[in-house]
Amino acid sequence: MTHVSFTQWEAKRRLEDGDEALTHILLDYRNYEDKHVKEMLDMLLEQPNTIQVLWMECNQLTDKTGAKLAELVRESTTLTDLFIDGNWFTEQTIFAIADALLYNTTLRSFGIAGCGRSDQKLVDTAFAAVFKMNVQTPLQLLRISQYEVDDSRRVKKIASEMPHTSMTNILLYFLNAPAKISRAKIRH
């Protein structure tokens, strides 16, 4: 059997059967809503070290699913790639996943760009905190804005200029400090 599942019902069936060959779940561009992926995500949370790759781009997923994905990021020791761009997540999901990344030791590629209207500076700060506080993070590809294919270099630069190391202090720094880094300076 193949290591890839392209539908949520197939992924759910294979998880139920304990199919150890399943390592990739690719559910992008399916118009799935939270109700369509709930059971599959519940199963993944029961066995978080099952899959390596989860793509759920361009669906209609909300913060309900986002909370489960954040928990999966925190708990999994096998998940290396998570792409959830183009859904209906708010800053609530973005911050929950950024927080989960403080504990994650395996995620190398992550995308959450194009998810509604979020304050990009606040999103940048949250992910800069990940690089500042989790120096062991394996995260190499980070897609959090609609303007870049990979935001990791830009966000690492922001992290290097942050003076504080706790998430609370970093957010306070963001809220109180004037904008030090403009997009024009970063993009050169």
What would you measure as the largest C-alpha separation in the chain, in angstroms? 55
Tens-digit pLDDT profile for the chain (188 aa)?
799 999 999 999 999 999 999 999 999 999 999 999 999 999 999 999 999 999 999 999 999 999 999 999 999 999 999 999 999 999 899 999 999 999 999 999 999 998 876 788 888 888 998 888 887 789 999 999 887 889 999 999 988 887 766 666 656 655 554 444 333 333 33
Q: Is the dihedral of CA 54, 55, 59, 64 positive or negative?
A: positive
According to DSSP, the residues that pair with 141 across neighbouring strands are 109
Scanning the structure block, which residue is given the tokens 């270099």? 153
Which CATH number do you get for residue 113? 3.80.10.10
Distance (Å, whole) CA 165 – CA 15: 39
Look up the domain containing 132 and give its range: 4-187
- pTM of this prediction? 0.86
Number of domains forming the structure of the chain:
1
Cα end-to-end span (Å), the chain: 47
Element (H, E) at 158: helix 152-160
